[in-house]
Amino acid sequence: MASDPLGTTVRRNPATERTAGELRAEAQKLRRTMLRMASDKGEGYIAQGMDIADLLTVLYFRELAFDPHDPEWSGRDRFVLSIGHYSIALYAVLHRIGYIDEAELDTFGLNGARLALSTFDDQPGVEITGGSLGHGLGQAVGMALGYRIDGHPGRIVCAIGDGELQEGSIWESAMAASAHAVDNLVLVIDCNGIQADGPTVLGMEPIADKWRAFGWDTQEIDGNDIEALMTAFDNARALDGKPKAIILRTTPGKGIPTLVARERAHFVRVDPDEWAKLRAELDENYDGPSSDERNSRG
């Protein structure tokens, strides 16, 4: 338990002091979990899940205030996943923090299952229904305004994709956030260069300059670098009257060379006999805690 400056009691994730190496170990567990969830379905936006695993690890094991025993706790920070088809990664981390049972993971993507290919807000820990892109940031701006009006100390973190930047509603929301100075809002933009049928259609660069022009504090980092993510979120805590944008340059299929090398599109098809090879590649390419980090943690 910890108290914020407004005197409200805030329950924080107990793992906030983890090292970068320990966070990499958590990201590896998420990637293994995602492979398990997708392995009998042939797909499931697995490449996107691999590329966002590092972000979700830093968010849920270092940044966000939440209560695993009370997913609807009013004092929580909120994570708004606008790119609802990244659901496999969100479900994996919600399992790791206790919101989803082990057995339910195997129902991912099945007809009638709660763990759908795109998120629905009836699942504890999921803040909005995903699927139709371009709407998450507007909802996140509203949440951030509501928190400020209520004197709530929490933050709203919203994730969108670079393909989503082609939606006009994103830029309307960007203007609104800046005009209302919602500095308790952090936007992360997953720039992996793909949309439904291949590379993004419209040329959106220079992305960082655009967000700065809209009045946002903007950083641009390697989104698969745990240390860079930690530093970026440290920098984004300032209540300086500006919303925050963190542009992530990520690699679809991160950690699995076979997936990285495949043609980049929404779905990366995996044949039934390939899953064991992908798991082996993931383990071979794992960069976990150093010996010094392991020794320092006992």
Q: Mean per-residue pLDDT for 145-163?
A: 94
**So what's the pLDDT on residue 11?**
46
**So what's the pLDDT on residue 293?**
46
**CB pairs under 8 A, 24+ apart, for 228-233?**
229/54, 229/55, 229/58, 230/20, 230/23, 230/58, 230/62, 233/58, 233/59, 233/62, 233/63, 233/186
**So what's the pLDDT on residue 12?**
54
Q: Which of 4-18, 23-37, 156-170, 206-220 has the lowest average pLDDT?
A: 4-18
Mean pLDDT of the chain: 87
Per-residue confidence at 2, pLDDT binned at 50, 70, 90?
very low
Cα gap 157→182, rounded to integer Å: 12
Residue 78's DSSP bridge partners are 156
Contact at 8 Å (CB) between 48 and 86?
A: yes
If one compares 147 and 297, the residue with the highest pLDDT of the two is 147
If one compares 18 and 119, the residue with the highest pLDDT of the two is 119
pTM recorded for the entire structure: 0.89
Contact at 8 Å (CB) between 62 and 233?
A: yes
**Residues 6 or more apart whose Cβ sits within 8 Å of residue 114:** 104, 107, 120, 122, 123
Per-residue pLDDT reduced to its tens digit, 31-47: 999 999 998 887 768 98
Number of C-alpha atoms within 13 angstroms, CB side, residue 56?
29
**So what's the pLDDT on residue 197?**
67
Per-residue pLDDT reduced to its tens digit, 205-242: 899 999 999 999 999 999 999 999 999 999 999 889 99
Q: Mean per-residue pLDDT for 233-260?
A: 93
Q: What are the structural domains of the chain?
A: 17-296 (3.40.50.970)
Contact at 8 Å (CB) between 207 and 166?
A: no
Q: Check whether 181 has a pLDDT greater than 80.
A: yes
